[in-house]
Amino acid sequence: MNPVGSVPELEKAVGKPVAAMMLKTIDHLDEHCRTILAVSTAAVLGYVDHDGVQRTRLLGGAPGFLSEASPTGLEIALPDDAAPGGASLLILVPGWRETLRVNGTVGAGGFAVLEAYLHCGKAVIRSGLWQPAPPSAATAEADAATIGPDAAAFLAAAPFAVISSRDEDGRADSSPRGDPAGDLRVLGPTTVAIADRPGNKRTDTLHNIVSNPEVALLALVPGDGRAVELTGTATISTDPALREQLAERGKAPKAVIVVEVSRARLARSEGIAAAALWDLGRHADTAELPRPSAVWTDHVKRNTTGGVGARVLRAVANERVMRAGVDLDYRQNLY
């Protein structure tokens, strides 16, 4: 299956993280983050449970259910099984393409923010996540060491997923994945494959998997009040045949994440219900949100990375140029 076993092998296959993309990260919550939090009704939390297992769960509530305690802290109702340590949030605004990623740690004081950045909208665009979908009448649930027929059927219908991972030092990350339904490929009773499509060019998940294979994956089907959570270990494959199986629009992914599942849970999601996630009437008015290009431009200017290159990029960052580049990227580089 051509597994990737080292960072040099990984970067040969998919390229190195793009330095300019890393400058879009800030170490606190600014006014853009606060605006997004104020209208968000859902977030996917990646965390480690008391048994040391990587987990992921969708949290939901009324707009602003995640509140800022300070520029470096969030008030959050953590799952009962969450252990102190590295954690990550992918914050969703229903109706909006972009997502806010916030990484840090959880403990008795809530969520301590270490980094925040706006993620590009490609996964949401590819998945059609916020498009109208009929309510699902399916009620089947499952909790097993293998992917049973009900979980497999759900995964086959799921266009959107979030992968939570952490590196060897416990630094956490949750990354969105979006594709037409059917591309979250069940290869066997304990094996799932996910294409690594173009995104924000940071490759955090892939680097984490190289150093620590433990992952959790949460899959969603628009209109369905359930979610599938898969926990297990992941490898990165560059196998040509597998990559071609997952080709879209004539373009095969450069790499595929292959998850060996130790637990598959299909269950009603309290977070989806609390967020009324699929109710189009409760989706955000995106006109009230900041332009993504303005967020990225401001975050580049607020990034504190040292070095001549970083200083030059901060000096030349321009919102109009950023907006034109993003629009072109969304049109030409979805796959």
pLDDT in tens, 160-198: 999 999 999 999 999 999 999 999 999 999 999 999 998
Average pLDDT estimate for 308-325: 90
Question: Amino acid identity, residue 76?
Answer: I
pTM, whole model, 2 decimals?
Answer: 0.96
C-alpha distances out from residue 135 to 78, 132, 248, 279, Å? 28, 10, 27, 10
Per-residue pLDDT, 199: 85
In contact, 320 and 291? CB cutoff 8 Å:
no
Distance CA 108, CA 71 (A): 17
| Per-residue pLDDT tens digits for 111-132 | 999 999 999 999 999 999 999 9
Average pLDDT estimate for 106-114: 94
Per-residue pLDDT, 313: 86
Per-residue pLDDT, 174: 98
Per-residue pLDDT, 261: 98
Per-residue pLDDT, 52: 97
In contact, 75 and 37? CB cutoff 8 Å:
no
C-alpha distances out from residue 67 to 29, 118, 219, Å? 11, 17, 25
In contact, 64 and 154? CB cutoff 8 Å:
no
If you average pLDDT over every residue of the chain, what do you get? 95
pLDDT at 38 over 80: yes
In contact, 200 and 21? CB cutoff 8 Å:
yes
Q: How confident is the model at residue 230 (pLDDT cuts 50, 70, 90)?
A: very high
Q: What are phi and psi of 328, to 5 degrees?
A: -65, -45
**Percentage of the chain modeled with pLDDT above 70:** 100
Q: How confident is the model at residue 3 (pLDDT cuts 50, 70, 90)?
A: confident
pLDDT at 57 over 80: yes
